[in-house]
Amino acid sequence: MDIQHIEASHQQFMTKMKQEDPGFFKKLGEGQEPSFFVLSCCDSRTCPSTITGMPLGTMFTHRNIANQVVEEDDGLRASLHFALDVLKVKYILIIGHTNCGGILAASTGVRHEAMNNWLDHVKESIDSFDKTNLSPTLEDLERHNVKQQIIDLKNHPVYKKVGRGIPVVGMLFHLESGELEWINDN
């Protein structure tokens, strides 16, 4: 694909939305009232609105490699605070996925100077998997990572301060089947 594909695709998108609802973009321009704050991976196959079929205006989204909650991450802190305190979202969703390159890299010890700090966060998360009874598959680690990030999100100072105890829900998107597996933190 090249850049011209975006132009053509965007024209189709505008036409479709206007056909479905002539006032769609006017309403979009008037403001947002999303019910969900979403933390998901950067992976190009896992766009949260697309995989859930949710319309624009419903998901306030922060993305990073392997959907990590990192307390020192200013970007996450600001977007989480804005979502909780200003937009008053009702739910937090943490969406991981199968065949996650970030989890694979951290679990196989990939090192790269530009990524080491981030991969260390991912490694810390997957290292908390209990390996006493079995050696985990990549999918076990991806599922565990979502569980760990639910815990970390609930312990994030912003959630503790302005989170109102709203639900933090985990999900694992199965690329190979399209299924969305719901995950809780226990």
Check residue 94 for interaction with Zn ion (CB under 5 A). Answer: no
Stretch that binds Zn ion, among 15-23, 76-84, 97-105, 138-146 (CB under 5 A): 97-105
Q: Using CB under 5 A, count the residues that bind Zn ion.
A: 4
C-alpha 81/C-alpha 155 separation (Å) is 14
Structure tokens at 60: 């306030």
Q: Which is nearer to Zn ion, 93 or 100 (CB)?
A: 100
Stretch that binds Zn ion, among 80-88, 96-104, 119-127, 137-145 (CB under 5 A): 96-104
Stretch that binds Zn ion, among 24-32, 99-107, 123-131, 141-149 (CB under 5 A): 99-107
Q: Is 130 annotated as a binding residue?
A: no
DSSP 136: P
Based on the number of CB atoms within 10 Å of its own CB, is 146 exposed (0-12), middle (13-18) or buried (19 or more)? Answer: buried
Task: State the Cα angle at 181 between 117 and 174, rounded to 5°.
Answer: 65
Check residue 142 for interaction with Zn ion (CB under 5 A). Answer: no
Site for Zn ion in 102-141 (CB under 5 A): 102
Q: In what order do the strands lie in the sheet with 168-173?
A: 59-63, 36-40, 91-97, 168-173, 180-183
Q: Which is nearer to Zn ion, 126 or 158 (CB)?
A: 126
The number of angstroms, rounded, from the C-alpha of 50 to the middle of its chain's C-alpha atoms is 12
Site for Zn ion in 14-53 (CB under 5 A): 41, 43
Where along the sequence are the contacts to Zn ion (CB under 5 A)? 41, 43, 100, 102
